[in-house]
Amino acid sequence: MLREFSRVLLVLAIVTLPMYAARGGQLQTKPALGQVIRSSSATIGGTAVPSGGTIISGDIMSTVAGGAALVEFSAGNQIELGENSIVTFRGTPDHVLASVDHGSITVRATVPGAVVVETLQCRMSSTGQASVSYSISAPPGSTTVSVKALQGAINIGEIGTQQTHAVGEGETWTCPSAVTAQTREEGAPGAGEQAGQAPAPAPSVSKHSNTGLLVLLIGGGVAGGIAAAVAGGGKGGGGGGPASPSAP
């Protein structure tokens, strides 16, 4: 009885020890998502990840300059991290989602749809073939991502435009940034205007007002001319003064 109990404890220790080590001495009860096959200067949450350690959903793995890591999931699906990379792993052993913050990774998928990789710009998955392999390069601070199909064909969906592209073996595709600068297009509403509303017309003087003003000006000019003519005529007729009565 004691021997059987000891064997059970030994099996539990063998199963949980790698997970315990990968958590920096903290026992993790979540089911394993994948296993670290090879690790060099790779960490999870700032804790070094040894070869043989485990990955659980929600883990953020990172590598430094010269570092690398190889993670294997169910059915032989693998994701390899190059140096200066940060990847978050989510999902289940049969359906893994790897979110790449930046860096370079290589994906080897043996089951269609079992591994999906996404960046801010695009999302990659297999097209249904039995085995595919592709590499992703997402430099830190870059607005584009370069994807190359190494074996088989893959689907690339652009997150910004919702467009999907099929990339064949040996082909390379560059994803544009999902976040683009917002520029004001010609004819767009100006400040204080509402979309779909025509701008308020500029103040103008009516035609009737212009006509009335012209009539007043002409009438005033004519009246002024007549008055001046009358005044001039009066002065011209009586220039010698009033006539004196003639002598008898």
pLDDT above 50 for 160: yes
pLDDT above 80 for 95: yes
Question: Residue 89, class by beta-carbon neighbours within 10 Å (0-12 exposed, 13-18 middle, 19+ buried)?
Answer: buried
Higher pLDDT, 200 or 103: 103
Containing H/E element for 96? Answer: strand 95-109
Which of 11-15, 138-142, 230-234 has maximum average pLDDT? Answer: 138-142
With cut-offs at 50, 70 and 90, classify the pLDDT of residue 27. Answer: low
Q: What is the pTM of this model?
A: 0.61
Task: Quote the distance between the C-alpha of residue 34 and its chain's center.
Answer: 30
Task: Quote the distance between the C-alpha of residue 30 and its chain's center.
Answer: 33
With cut-offs at 50, 70 and 90, classify the pLDDT of residue 228. Answer: very low
Helix (H, G, I), strand (E, B) or coil at 74: helix
Question: Residue 181, class by beta-carbon neighbours within 10 Å (0-12 exposed, 13-18 middle, 19+ buried)?
Answer: exposed
Q: What is the pLDDT of residues 63-82, one digit of tens each?
A: 999 999 999 999 999 999 99
Q: How far apart are CA 238 and CA 65, in angstroms?
A: 117
pLDDT mean across residues, the chain: 74
pLDDT (average), residues 109-130: 89
Phi, psi (rounded to 5 degrees) for 106: -125, 130
Largest CA distance in the chain: 179
Which two structure tokens, joined as six digits, stand for 144?
A: 């584009």
Q: What is the pLDDT of residues 229-242, one digit of tens each?
A: 434 444 444 444 44
Higher pLDDT, 191 or 20: 20
Domain boundary assignment for the chain = 31-175
Q: What is the pLDDT of residues 161-182, one digit of tens each?
A: 889 999 999 999 998 744 433 3
29-65 in b/e form (b: 16+ CB < 10 A) is eeebbbbbeebeebbbeeeebeeebbbbbebebbbee
According to CATH, what is the number of the domain 31-175?
Answer: 2.60.120.1440
